[in-house]
Each structure stands twice: as structure tokens, then as C-alpha cells.
Amino acid sequence: MQFSGEGYIIKIKNHGEKSAIVTLVCPQRGKIVGYVNGALSKRNLGMWQLGNYISFNAYARVEENMLSLKGTELVRSHTADFLLDNDKIGALVSLSRLIDECVAENDDLGQLYIAVDDFFTHIHENNWLAYYSFFEYYLLDFLGIGLDVSACAVTGKHSDLQYISPKTGRAVCAEVGEPYKDRLYAYPHYIVEGNHSPQYKEIANVLTMTGNFLNKNFLAQHNLQLPEKRANLLNIAQAYKIKL
């Protein structure tokens, strides 16, 4: 088996002194794992950094064997986008860990890959945290535990949707949800509308919601937890929330 492709580096595991087992997330192949000979040599260290986008040729004698990645080239470096910014590094580590732990190899990622690509494409912009929140929202959908935001779960109304039920993940209209609003999540208007420049208050609400649904409906069932650095992303949004 052999094929060529491109992808973002989301995990690098040392293998011997200078080689590595590398995990990539690719537009056509989803998540793949491959062996790279000499990846950790001084000459190649600049390429093999989390978030970098590379091209490669992949080989395996039989489909069950681990891929060997050769002919690798750096297409886009994102090292400078994360350098010396602990908040962005936390987002990178969180995104990478969640993909590595939640996504099986070779699955079709669909909209989830678009969200990953958008995150890296816009990481240098002020609204980078909004793009990260889109990633978690579509990760829920990819895992089959996505939210039903189309209509009120009680009335069937498609208008005036303001809340999400923490039990069912279904939308609730303002009229029905108002008496219980302290126990409901805020409706993710900016996600549904495709608005990548929301208020930080909105981002904090979405990260609270996606984090809880990920924990309850997937991570806890597989003895996993949200990445440690992910908590700081919510803290960032909540800190700005107070200032608004």
C-alpha cells in the first residue's frame, strides 16, 4: 500500500535516538500514524513540530502494518504562530490531544477537518479562540453526540431559540426555557450562524457546554479526561467575559 498526502502534525513520539512515530490529521485520510526515520535529527527538528503542515509519501507492505513516511517536506510552518504564547500553545495541545484520543485512524473527518484547518489558518488573528470553539463543537458532532439546534425540543418552534438542555443537547426556545435558564446552556448562535467574531462571553458559554458534553458523553466512558491545558482556554474566555 502506498499513497501521498498532506497533513497537520498533532503528535510526535520518540522512537530510538533520532526517529519518531508521528500522528497527522489529513484532509483526505483523516488521522494517520507513521514512522519517520531521522525525524529528530538536528537537521530535521524545525519540520517536526506540532501544528506544522507537511507533505509526505506513505508506504506499508500490508494494510495492517504501520505506515512509513518518506519524502516529507514542510509546506507551512506554524511554529512562529505559537512561539512564546502560552495561551495558543494550550489550544494547540488541547486540539492535538483530543484528536489523538477521540478520532480513530482513517475516519472521514468531514466538517471536523475544516474546523481544524480553520483553527491553524486563523491562529494569528485576534479571534483564534473562537475558531478553537468551532473545533470542539464539530468534534461533538463527529463523535455522534452533537447538539440538536434546529428546533425547540418542547414546542417544535424554529424561532427564538435561546437555550440548550444539558440533559438532551436539544434546543429550547426562550418562552419555555426562561424559568429554568440558570440550569440551561446558552444557545450557540455564533456557531449556528457561522460567525467567527463573537463576544468572549459567547465563547465562554460554548466552551463550558462543549467541555461538559465531551466529558459526560465520550471521555468519561473511555476513562479519558479533557486535556489539562484546555481548562486555561475557558479561563481566558471567562476573564474577558468579566470585562465586557
- Specify if 219 maps to a domain: yes
Tens digit of pLDDT for each residue in 10-33?
Answer: 999 999 889 999 999 999 999 999
CB-based contact 187:171 (threshold 8 Å): yes
- Specify if 182 maps to a domain: no
pLDDT average, residue stretch 32-40: 93
Tens digit of pLDDT for each residue in 185-217?
Answer: 999 999 999 999 999 999 999 999 999 999 999
Identify whether residues 73 and 85 lie together within a single domain.
no
Identify whether residues 133 and 205 lie together within a single domain.
yes
Identify whether residues 9 and 34 lie together within a single domain.
yes
Query: To the nearest 10°, the Cα dihedral for 87, 88, 91, 97?
Result: -110
Q: What are the strands, taking DSSP E only, across the chain?
A: 2-15, 19-26, 30-36, 53-59, 67-76, 148-152, 161-164, 170-173, 185-186
Last-in-domain residue among 77, 102, 137: 77
Identify whether residues 125 and 237 lie together within a single domain.
yes
Q: Provide the domain limits for residue 115.
A: 81-147+188-243
Identify whether residues 118 and 48 lie together within a single domain.
no
Residue in 137, 80, 79, 143 with CA at minimum distance from that of residue 107:
143
- Specify if 127 maps to a domain: yes
Identify whether residues 21 and 97 lie together within a single domain.
no
pLDDT average, residue stretch 95-114: 96
Residue in 65, 69, 66 with CA at minimum distance from that of residue 57:
69
Tens digit of pLDDT for each residue in 136-191?
Answer: 999 999 999 999 999 999 999 999 999 999 999 999 999 999 999 999 999 999 99
- Specify if 223 maps to a domain: yes
Identify whether residues 27 and 137 lie together within a single domain.
no
Q: What is the pLDDT of residue 244?
A: 40
Identify whether residues 137 and 25 lie together within a single domain.
no
Tens digit of pLDDT for each residue in 108-124?
Answer: 999 999 999 999 999 99
Domain count for the chain: 2
